[in-house]
Amino acid sequence: ALPGDNWYLSTGTAADANNEGVDKSATPTCLGWSLAVLSINWCPALIDASLVRPVLRMKRYILGGNDDEDELCDAEIPIWSNRVDGDGVVTLHVPGALAKRDRIMELRRRIKEECDRTRSVIVYVGDSSTDLAALLEADIGIIMGYSSTTVSIAERWGIQIIPLRHRGKHGFGRVDGDWEKKKLLWEVETWQEIDEMLRELDEHWT
């Protein structure tokens, strides 16, 4: 898994803006992947202030770079979301669940065109029913937390949801493993579980 060729997308994330208790020697694996935020309900300004900038501060801190606000580059973490201008006019760049799925499909096409790699991986993390189509389209779809509505719809679609900690029982990381079959999603309770999974993928495919 080569940084820049693999994408880790989320509808939300968590980071300590003050970098308190961050172990520089234990760099989160996700920071070596291309990160992006895809959202229907959150506007870019909110995503930037609450998610993107804290993550970039943590990245600068861990990697020993400058965490000055003026030096943070928004382009490092793309934000794909709907927008509201000063007059309250809404522009729907991501109008619904299928638009999220289409964004994943578009990203896969772009990777294929631009990256001369034998393998790339798109990981999508979501927590609502509007994420299901994108979760299934991604190479690895992960449900964060528990949403009864999301689980109920997934079950009606015949989707199997497995705790990520049990991935070893399903041949996770092997080309012929069940994990690559559609209609199989993973669920987690913490972001640490996802980071451990990304590290495992790096070990398998580097």
CA–CA separation, 179 and 141 (whole Å)? 10
For 104-128, the pLDDT digits (tens) are: 999 888 888 876 555 678 899 998 8
Identify the residue whose tokens are 């999508």. 124
CB 1 within 8 A of CB 201: yes
User: For residues 177 and 170, is the Cβ–Cβ distance under 8 A?
Assistant: yes
- Per-position DSSP letters for 152-206, written without gaps between them: HHHHHTT-EEEEGGGGGGGTTTSTTSGGGSSSEEEEESSHHHHHHHHHHHHHHH-
The per-residue pLDDT for 105 is 92
Q: pLDDT at position 90, please? A: 85
CA distance 77 to 52: 7
Cα of 152 vs its chain's centroid, Å: 22
Give 193-206 pLDDT, tens digit per residue: 988 888 888 777 65
* The token pair that represents 87 in the structure block: 């007059």
DSSP letter assigned to residue 77: S
Contact indicator for 81, 44 with CB cutoff of 8 Å: yes
CB under 8 Å, gap of 24 or more: what pairs does 107-110 form? Answer: 107/7, 107/9
From the CB of residue 71, how many other CB atoms can be counted at a distance below 10 Å? 10
Q: Whole-prediction pTM value?
A: 0.77
Give the chain's mean pLDDT.
76
Mean pLDDT by runs of 10 across the 206 residues of the chain is 47 40 50 81 87 80 63 68 85 89 90 70 89 91 88 88 87 55 82 87 71
Q: What is the DSSP string of 52-73?
A: IHHHHHHHHHHHT----GGG--
